[in-house]
Amino acid sequence: MSQCVVDYAHETQEYPGKANFLLGAQLYPSGNCPRGFLRSMINPSADNNRSSSCWHPKFDRMFNETHGGNDMWCYVDVHWSSGVANRAFYLAAKGLNQTCDQAVKPAAIGLTSACNIFYRALTSYLSKVADYHELRTATVQAAKDLFGASSPEASSLAQAWDIVGAPRAPYPNTNAPKCQPGFATAASCIRGLV
């Protein structure tokens, strides 16, 4: 999750009010990379499936279990696992088009509000060893602190975390909302896709 902090801070500082949510896009100005970016906050799996668009229980067990062998989950990279939080940040900031065929449609709260919420969560609620449940809880609480318990911002954060499948209860809970990696990546769903 530490990489997510760097990613959202970069997007909000380099592109205030108009982030493209494509990390490293400036490294490929002439189009010499097929993707044109290193990582996408819109669709994390677009980087040749190195990043994850959906939460996985192994992301939260990294501090709780000893790993060995060649299992890919033994070596979860911070860039790879940050895709889940990056996607939740994007979904809250930009929202989903109402034409998107999905019951859960987070309202767009804007880049500044999303950044303020994640920053407050980081500085007021999270520890150095926070997991995705704690990040979800912290950001929703931060939204309530800043905008009110029944605010569109708090609702948008909760819905964004549901879309990426972040757990509603602490480890070892594995009963998280169902996440579909391709959901919300169709042009009919995305607002401001670059």
Give the pLDDT of residue 103. Answer: 66
Give the pLDDT of residue 78. Answer: 67
Give the pLDDT of residue 66. Answer: 47
Look at the chain and report how many structural domains it folds into: 1
Residues of the chain with pLDDT under 70: 1, 17, 29-34, 48-50, 60-80, 98-103, 172-175, 180-194
In a domain, 174, yes or no: no
Full domain range(s) for residue 84: 2-164
In a domain, 8, yes or no: yes
Give the pLDDT of residue 77. Answer: 64
In a domain, 178, yes or no: no
In a domain, 170, yes or no: no
Domain holding 42: CATH number? 1.10.390.10
In a domain, 30, yes or no: yes
In a domain, 194, yes or no: no
Q: What is the pLDDT of residues 86-105, one digit of tens each?
A: 889 999 998 877 666 666 77
Give the pLDDT of residue 153. Answer: 97
SS3 22: strand
